[in-house]
Amino acid sequence: VDPAKETQDYETALNQFKAGKYKEAAGSFGAFVQKYPDSSLAPNAQYWLGNAWYAQRDCKRAIEAQSVVTTRYADSGKAPDAWLAISTCQQEMGNPTGAKRSLETVLAKYPGTPAADTARERLKKK
């Protein structure tokens, strides 16, 4: 694997996302995790893939993508944020019980993280 090409591919996808080209970004992040599954950037790419689906209002695919972060990359820094994203989609899809459970998972598995603080605030509002 060429590290420079790997970084370039990731940056290309991230720049597409930042430019609001969510469909292209989803394609690029999806291709990245296929091509570089063991990359140190793979958890981030998978997380941004979920965000690209969410930005296209496709919560089902967003949850699928974020679930990979929470299972395959459970030890990554993106995992607690992926749980928050899952919770947001569950809420929007009319599943408040699932959303609450996802927030509780953040608190249980990732205490002391910024995501846990966010989860705590969201649970207070419920």
Can you give the pLDDT at residue 1? 81
Mean pLDDT of the chain: 97
| pTM score of the predicted model | 0.95
The size of the chain, in residues, is: 126
Going from the C-alpha of 68 to that of each of 3, 5, 22, the distances in angstroms are: 23, 24, 19
Interacting residues of 61 by C-beta distance below 8 A, sequence separation 6+: 53
Residue with tokens 């928050």: 84
DSSP 11: H
Note the pLDDT tens digit of each residue in 46-71: 999 999 999 999 999 999 999 999 99
Amino acid at position 3, single letter: P
